[in-house]
Amino acid sequence: MSISDKSVSDFIKDVASKSPTPGGGAVGAIVAALGAALVEMVALLTVEKKGYEEYEAEMERVISESSYRRKRILEIADEDIKAFNEVMNALKLPKDTVENKKVRSEKLQESLKKACEVPYDLAREISKICPLAKSVNKFGNRNAKSDAKSALALLEAAFKSAIANVEINLGSIKDKNFVSSMREAVNELKGNVEKCIANCENN
């Protein structure tokens, strides 16, 4: 069952269980989706409001993009669970012969790369939502200012969670080129998101 089809209560119960999934990656994605939802809400509370006419087109853009990002992030939540399960399945493969050890190692490395790419995708989505949060924080309905700030806090937390999940898996990957490329991409995202959040906090 997709996370989107579960009740909030059931999802929380699943997280609180001794099952390793859903774990931090999926939780981070849900938090990011909530951040995107709050951005969308603030924009919706701004359109057609007196005194905000000049920001109408911008808010319509924010509504459209944040809705798209929110839905994509929920897909990533499911992808995160699948990626982790693939790592666990690889670890369970037999290693009683030289050939089996080779197969197991290859499958494990392949699954670890996927387990890096999924939270990286989440971090990248968050980096694209951040400017939308900045927009509603600056131009959105002032009566919803706390909601805009809440969105920013959720996005920041989710971003840190995503990066943590990338980094923990990078530590087990033997492909140095992959690790180097991923670290470079992560550092670029960090710079962009940190700058965006700092700019929002100053408004």
Residue 134 lies in a domain: yes
Residue 32 lies in a domain: yes
pLDDT digits (tens, 9 = 90+) for 28-61: 999 999 999 999 999 999 999 999 999 999 999 9
Residue 9 lies in a domain: no
pLDDT digits (tens, 9 = 90+) for 84-98: 999 999 999 999 999
The set of residues, in sequence order, having a beta carbon less than 8 Å from that of 48 and lying 6+ positions away, is 56
Give how many domains the chain has, as a whole number: 1
Residue 28 lies in a domain: yes
- pLDDT > 70 fraction of the chain, expressed in percent and rounded: 99
Rg (CA), the chain: 19
Residue-level pLDDT at 203: 65
Q: What is the CATH number of the domain that holds 60?
A: 1.20.120.680
**pLDDT tops 70 at residue 175:** yes
Residue 13 lies in a domain: no
**pLDDT tops 70 at residue 104:** yes
Residue 14 lies in a domain: no
Residue 38 lies in a domain: yes
pLDDT digits (tens, 9 = 90+) for 8-34: 999 999 999 999 889 999 999 999 999
User: Phi and psi (nearest 5°) for 187?
Assistant: -60, -35
Range of the domain at 43: 19-201
